[in-house]
Amino acid sequence: MERDTPRAPGSDAARPARDLEVTLARLLTVGTVLSAGVILIGVALYLLRQSGERLDYGTFRTHADELNAPLSIVARALEFDAAAVMQLGVLLLILTPIVRVGFTLVAFVIKRDWMYVVVAGIVFAVLCLGLLGLKVH
């Protein structure tokens, strides 16, 4: 292989891979814009309704709240609870890089690149474990 010879871009077999990277990057942008939009709606609702509330975040309290698990966040956001809508936006933000790793995994499957299917699969599994399964008290 002519590893160290510069070549003109676009003339190589890596082209489809580049296109895929750009698509994946767009996915991140879409996810980010979507989450920011949901967060802003939540913030607007919150400021409209709860603006005068006194807050104190000086001490951390572990609360068994509905805003700690993905499914209950969605359920409460559908009732237009302001804090839950903000938290839904935050959840979408956390999901964005996870979904991106998922798509990278699919891309490796399509390319039949089994070694990287395993590598991306491990990353994806650990991310899902962190979001869904692992509860530490």
Partner 1 sequence: MTAGLLVTLLFGSALVAGFAGALTGLGGGVVLIPIMVLLFGIDLRYAVGASLIAVIATSSGAAAAFIKEGYTNVRVGVLLEVATVLGAIAGAVIAASVSKDLIAVVFSLALFWSAYTTLRPLKPLPPDTHPDRVSQYFRLDSEYPTKSPDGTPTMTAYRVHAVPGALAIMLGAGVLSALVGIGSGIVKVFAMDRLMRLPFKVSTTTSNFMIGVTAAASAGVYLHRGQIEPAIAAPIAVGALGGSLIGARVLPRVKTLWLRRLFAVVVICAGVELLRRVLQGGV
User: 70 or 109: whose CB is closer to partner 1?
Assistant: 70
Q: How far is the CB of 109 from partner 1 (least distance, A)?
A: 13
User: 53 or 79: whose CB is closer to partner 1?
Assistant: 53
User: 101 or 109: whose CB is closer to partner 1?
Assistant: 101
* Cα-based torsion angle of the residue sequence 62, 65, 71, 77 in order, rounded to the nearest 10 degrees: -130
Q: How far is the CB of 44 from partner 1 (least distance, A)?
A: 10
Q: How far is the CB of 82 from partner 1 (least distance, A)?
A: 8
Query: What is the C-alpha separation between 44 and 28, in angstroms, rounded?
Result: 24
Contacts of 89 (CB under 8 A, 6+ apart): 35, 36, 37, 38, 39, 40, 41, 42
The tokens describing 91, both together, are 């959840």
User: 28 or 109: whose CB is closer to partner 1?
Assistant: 28
Q: How far is the CB of 129 from partner 1 (least distance, A)?
A: 7
Q: Is 85 exposed, middle or buried (0-12, 13-18, 19+ CB in 10 A)?
A: buried
